Structure 1
Amino acid sequence: MGAPAYGALLLLLLAAAATAAPTEQPTLPTTPFSSTGGGGGNNTSTGVNSNSVLVALLDSHYTELAELVEKALLLQALEDAVGRGNVTIFAPRNEALERDLDPEFRRFLLEPRNLKSLQRLLLFHVLPARLHASSPSSWPASHPTLSGEHVDLAGGEVTGSPMRVGSAAVTRPDAVVRPDGVIHGIERLLVPRSVQEDFNRRRSLAAISAVLPTGAPEVDPRTHRLKKPAPPVPPGAPPVLPIWDAMAPGPSIAPAPAPGPGSGKHHFDGHSQVKDFIQTLLLYGGYNELADILVNLTSLATEMGRLVSEGYVLTVLAPNDEAMARLTTDQLSEPGSPENILYYHMIPEYQTEESMYNAVRRFGKVRYDTLRLPHKVTAREADGSVKLGHGEGSAYLFDPDIYTDGRISVQGIDAVLFPPQDTATGSGSSGASPAAPARKAPAVTAHSKSKLRRGQ
Structure 2
Amino acid sequence: MAANYFLTFLLLSISGGLSTALPEKPSHNLSSSPSNSGQINSNSVLVALLDSHYTELAELVEKALLLQTLEEAVTQHNITIFAPKNEALERDLDPEFKRFLLEPGNLRSLQTLLLYHIVPRKIGLHEWPDSPTESTQHDTLATNPIGLTSKDADNKLVGTAKVVHPDDVVRPDGVIHGIERLLIPKSVQSDFNLRRNLQSISAVKPEGSPEVDPRTNRLKKPAPSVPAGSPPVLPIYAAMAPGPSLAPAPAPGPGGPHHHFDGESQVKDFIQTLLHYGGYNEMADILVNLTNLATEMGKLVSEGYVITVLAPNDEAMAKLTTDQLSEPGSPEQIMYYHIIAEYQTEESMYNAVRRFGKVRYDTLRLPHKVVAQEADGSVKFGDGDGSAYLFDPDIYTDGRISVQGIDGVLFPAEETKSETKTETRTVTHVKVVAKPRRGKLLEVACRMLGAFGQDSRFTTCQ
Higher relative contact order (CA 8 A, sep 6+): 1
Bigger radius of gyration among the two: 2
TM-score (norm 1): 0.49
